[in-house]
Amino acid sequence: MMSSPGGEMCVPFSPIERKTSLSRKDVRRTIRALARKGLAEFHFPLMDEDGYFRGAGYCISETGWNYMVDLDAANSL
């Protein structure tokens, strides 16, 4: 999992592009659609472990997290 709720682990578009092999346009469109549905949330600024500014990104929302947990439970039946 590349993300966690509450802004704890947010991800910029670039790592998502690399991991999924999607174009930046497709990643942007998909993540913003998830955000409009309340499944992801935008955070700015992002800081690394040393406190340096690293840009902006998205993370899964609490609603998105709960949705994934429910999907996982349904798939394990």
What does the pLDDT read at residue 13?
93
Contact of 10 with 23, CB cutoff 8 Å: no
pLDDT of residue 1: 61
User: What total of structural domains would you count in the chain?
Assistant: 1
- Residue 4 belongs to a domain: no
pTM of the shown model: 0.81
Residue 47 forms part of a structural domain: yes
In a domain, 42, yes or no: yes
Q: What is the DSSP string of the chain?
A: ---BTTTTB-B-HHHHHHHH---HHHHHHHHHHHHHTTSEEEEEEEE-TTS-EEEEEEEE-HHHHHHHHHHHHHHT-
Q: Which residues form the domain of 23?
A: 13-75
One-letter amino acid of 77: L
Least confident of 15-19, 31-35, 50-54: 50-54
Confidence band, pLDDT 50/70/90 cuts, at residue 32: very high
Predicted confidence (pLDDT) at residue 15 exceeds the cutoff of 80:
yes
Residue 2 lies inside a defined structural domain of this protein: no
pLDDT of residue 7 exceeding 90, the answer is: no
